Chain A
Amino acid sequence: MPSRSGTRRKASRRAILKSALAGIATLAAPPVLGQAKAHVIVIGGGFAGATCARRLKAADGTIAVTLVEPNARFTACPFSNAVIAGLRPIEAQYFGYDGVKQAGVDIAGQIVVAIEAEARQVHFADGARLDYQRLVLAPGIDIRFDALPGYDQTAAEIMPHAWKAGAQTLLLRRQLEAMADGGVVVLSAPANPFRCPPGPYERASLIAYYLKTKKPRSKLILLDAKDTFSKQRLFEAAWKTLYPGLIEWVPLSGGGRVIEIDAKTRTLVTEFGSHLADVANVIPPQRAGAVAIAAGVADQTGWCPIDPHTFESKLVPNIHVIGDAAIAGAMPKSAFAANAQAKVCADMIASLIRGEDPREVKLINTCYSLVAPDYGISVAGVYAPRDGLLTEIKEAGGVSPLEAPAAQREAEATYAQAWFQTITREVFG
């Protein structure tokens, strides 16, 4: 089963990280060739990292840029909820790195296992090392398999999280397909912060769409560790009209927080009781990707504090953190935000390498969610650094209107598709 080998690989990666870290203190300084031109290493070829690598080359062609990414093919999370609902083939989520290569970026198909910040050097899994002038960390998230009792990698093969797209997405899809009409689907959503704040609610909506059209006697329970969520009023209004009686949302105050998982019986235990599921999708707590922890750029929250102008780590100099791994103030952990941050970060690094002062920055986020294939809603925000954090500009931003004609919902569903096509072309095309 492909998903099993995937999780094994991750487990061994973590083990390597640990041993590499333990070894750092005793390693003798290795001989490395001096580099005449500036070299920037970007770790992670997702929405943040691939964007940043390309933009660096565009901003200053004299900078040598290496993108480190172990997978030859990227699987995008946005629109993976549509895959789960059977509305889209997984192949539409796959992207290669040819475009990034053609932009002049060197690609290292490797995993970074350790970072020596003082020597400005990264260590690869195969023992090779590479010097950098500046390092960009864009590893995305890791699932915290230590945070929810009973929810480990084995449990995730029975009750998928599907919060990293790929084998987990397909597993959840297969389980929904195999479920009998009249079954109970249970989703659980974590407390903030986590990747894609509206994601669990979009997923509940699209699974409900699948159930309504294919298995109408079924039901969906959404257990939540929060009392409020992104675009809540819009989602709830749409659920009422589109899926009456199908989705039951249980907030924190109603006993929605999941405190334990029993994978053998597919049970989710909350503070108030337990829920037996026919199909269970556990979206567990998360943290910055392991390499960020290894680099020492994550704080006790598991996420990485950064300077909001340059995205340079507040903990380790010359390392920048972008995308989901970063604490980006009011900006949500989204692909749109990751891409916007990456472009600004690249511009700033190019400026810093030239010895210039960082410029003023302004960032945007727009997240579309599909409540049904032809029903889109959005949240948008504009952000600028203030008091050391990326802060939302009050006059701007907000969600789609609560009252809107069907044509506007349809337009937003179309824009959602267009956004995905545009951004993936910019990042990988």
Chain B
Amino acid sequence: MPVIEKVIDETPYIRTFVLDRTFRANPGQYVMVWVRGVDEVPMSLSYENAITVQKVGDATSAMFGLGKGDRLGVRGPYGNGFTLTGRSILVIAGGVGAAPLASLAELAHSSGISVTTLLGARTKTELLFAERFRQAGELRIATDDGSFGHAGFVTQLLERTDLSDFDGIYTCGPEQMMARILNIVKDSMLDRIQLSLHRYIKCGFGICGACCIDPEGLRVCADGPVFTGIRLANSEFGKYRRNECGMKVHVQ
């Protein structure tokens, strides 16, 4: 079990846990993180040796109680991750959705691909990895409360962006945000947009079927979590998901 080497406060609610183990993974792949006695939850790799966690409930709160020298169970990496293509890409990150995208932006930059990032958060202090995105290319920021950059949603920045400049669009964040993005880019770029999905993940191996999405029965944990717009355009995405019991609940 990996040992936590360092904990970095990224924002008041987001921390990075640097581990003593390196994972060979594509940006967008995730690991299952076991907090003993509490729960096991999926987390994207935010660096090759780290996860970046937003405190939202039991497991993530328990992680916030851990420090240097403590252990976390980590299995993976799992899932497909993003596929980098083209010479110029647009990255759209909302909240903790920046976690898998910062390494993607860095990889693109180091491969000579030009990167433009639209980064959104509720408020200035919750902006994640702004410096990493800035180092990788051009950065535009939106905050819901207007405390930094554009006052409003990151999707409004997107509406003002000329998409013909980009060979690919990569996004991760709240489902409502990504659903809006999918509407904005519609048709013209559906095959060139990649979205990282959040569904309740149990096994992570692709075996149990809890995270399958309609109508193709694709497994978010193994066939995803990254899907192209084409796969999601006429799917449950943006409409509903299934909870731990497998009951449909509306995406709000």
B and A form one assembly: no
Q: Please report A residues at the B interface, Cβ cutoff 8 Å.
A: none
Which B residues are closer than 8 A to A by beta carbons? none
